[in-house]
Amino acid sequence: MIQKQKGCNDIFGREAKIWKYVDSVIDALMEKYNYTYIRTPIFEATELFHRGIGDTTDIVTKESYDFEDKGGRKITLRPEGTAGVVRSYIENKMYGDPNQPVKVYYNGTMYRYERPQSGRDRELTQFGMEILGSDDPLTDAEIISLAVNIYKVLGLKEIKVNINTLGDTESRNNYREALIKYFKPHIKDFCEDCQERLKKNPLRILDCKVDAENKILKEAPKTLDYLNEESRDRFEKVQEYLDIMQINYEINPNIVRGLDYYNHTVFEIEANIEGFGSNNVIGGGGRYNGLVKQLDGPDTPCVGFACGFGRLVKALELEKVKMPIVEDVDLFLMYVNEDEKKNAAYLTQELRLAGFVVDTEYTGRGLKAQFKQADRLNAKFIAVLNSEDLNNNEIKIKNNKTKDEELISLDALIYYLDEQLNTMDIDDGCDCGCENDEHDCECGHDCKCNHKE
């Protein structure tokens, strides 16, 4: 038997419905914030990621899927979304669009060759958003607030925003020199990768997973101590806008992010949920003012955010967030003979086009098995097509909850279902699943069953 590759997953059934629901929430919020969807290729020229992400990052040095195609071109499966968006921005001359800044979001598959573990796969889905063409601190705050609001709308409550700044080029260079001076006498106490990073990019030492508990690392100089006045003022502006937006945050000087293109604001969002583990970051991002120019485009300030879908879904499950996942059908049509089957084919087509969720029998099962199938599908109504009723232009509909039956005209079927389903939704009040008129729980809905906060 051929099996899926290590670090990859099949998403189906209820889990797939959760993913689609999360998709829909993201799409709706992006529309409210006036972001447009962008789709970039799954593979790009290897140079894009080596120049954009940085040759000293783990993504490039250890995790990228690099290969040569049949034409001898060096190709890489995309490990993250920002570099491809920036390439598209430059290639399609979006900087010339009078509607500035350019605000886009993406949702797609990424590939990283790393050791598979909880929340980390070799094939992963990531969504993210970018603002290209504005250096206003308000855009930093908007990106952070949008990320927070996505999590809040989805139902996550225990989230924490950590922010920091790397400052401008001058501040970052000052900090870089301070790190080299600090780490150099102790560098032999660090892993081989960090010893190499000291020469190329000492900021990457701060993001080392191997030496994360090293006391020397924990006591390293902080970015905030090496900011020039302009960078410090800018960071204070970002905080001011976050305060205005009522976004709670903490300043965490240890955040540097794992990609080389960041400067000024960097941030991470944690989900403080029991069972999520110590690696509880579910998203992060920051400003990358030099990346467009580095990739041969015009000097363009940018800021963005990204989140892994798998970790987000896991957080929702661990926090037991109730999601409006539809796991039932409005009507299940049953039949016995070929003429009734033809009528079932016609009715399913008409009712589906009218907006109802309808299913029927496809495997030749008898009526007893069809009733069981209707129950497995949580059918709200069922109908056993009968040749005599059909000749009279009638159909018998059964409420699968109350077991009440009604013989109605086929011409009135759409109106009947619409009225009955609307009445059923009102009677249910909410989808908590309680069956009593009075029930104590924490659903928070103001509904017929008198749920309490």
Q: How many residues does the chain have?
A: 453
Q: Taking the CB of residue 265, how many other CB atoms lie within 10 A of it? A: 27
Q: What is the pLDDT of residue 439?
A: 38
Q: What is the pLDDT of residue 278?
A: 64
Give the SS3 label for residue 226. helix
Start-to-end Cα distance in the chain = 51
The bridge status of strand 302-308 relative to strand 123-132 is antiparallel
Per-residue model confidence as pLDDT tens digits over 230-265:
999 999 999 999 999 999 999 998 887 656 678 899
CB 256 within 8 A of CB 286: no
CB 371 within 8 A of CB 398: no
Q: Give all domains of the chain, ordered by start, each with its CATH number.
A: 13-168+228-318 (3.30.930.10), 331-428 (3.40.50.800)
Nearest CA to 123 among 139, 132, 111? 111
Digitized pLDDT (tens) for each residue of the chain, 453 residues in all: 999 888 888 899 999 999 999 999 999 999 999 999 999 999 999 999 887 665 555 556 668 889 899 999 999 999 999 999 999 999 999 999 999 999 999 999 999 887 766 667 889 999 999 999 999 999 999 999 999 999 999 999 888 999 999 999 888 888 888 888 888 888 887 887 788 777 777 877 777 777 777 788 778 888 898 999 999 999 999 999 999 999 999 999 888 765 667 889 999 999 888 777 667 889 999 999 989 998 999 999 999 999 999 889 999 998 899 998 888 999 999 999 999 999 999 999 999 999 999 999 999 999 999 999 999 999 999 999 999 999 999 999 999 999 999 999 999 999 999 999 998 865 554 444 444 443 344 444 444 443 333
For the chain, counts of helices (H) and of strands (E)? 15, 16
DSSP 4: P
Q: What is the pLDDT of residue 446?
A: 42
CB 8 within 8 A of CB 121: yes
- The set of residues, in sequence order, having a beta carbon less than 8 Å from that of 121 and lying 6+ positions away, is 7, 8, 9, 310
Alpha-carbon gap, residue 366 to 335, rounded angstroms: 9
Alpha-carbon gap, residue 420 to 426, rounded angstroms: 10
Alpha-carbon gap, residue 253 to 258, rounded angstroms: 14
Query: Which ranges of 161-226 would DSSP assign to H, the alpha helix?
Result: 169-183, 192-200, 215-218
CB 372 within 8 A of CB 400: no
Alpha-carbon gap, residue 186 to 195, rounded angstroms: 10
pTM to 2 decimal places: 0.84
Q: What is the pLDDT of residue 425?
A: 67
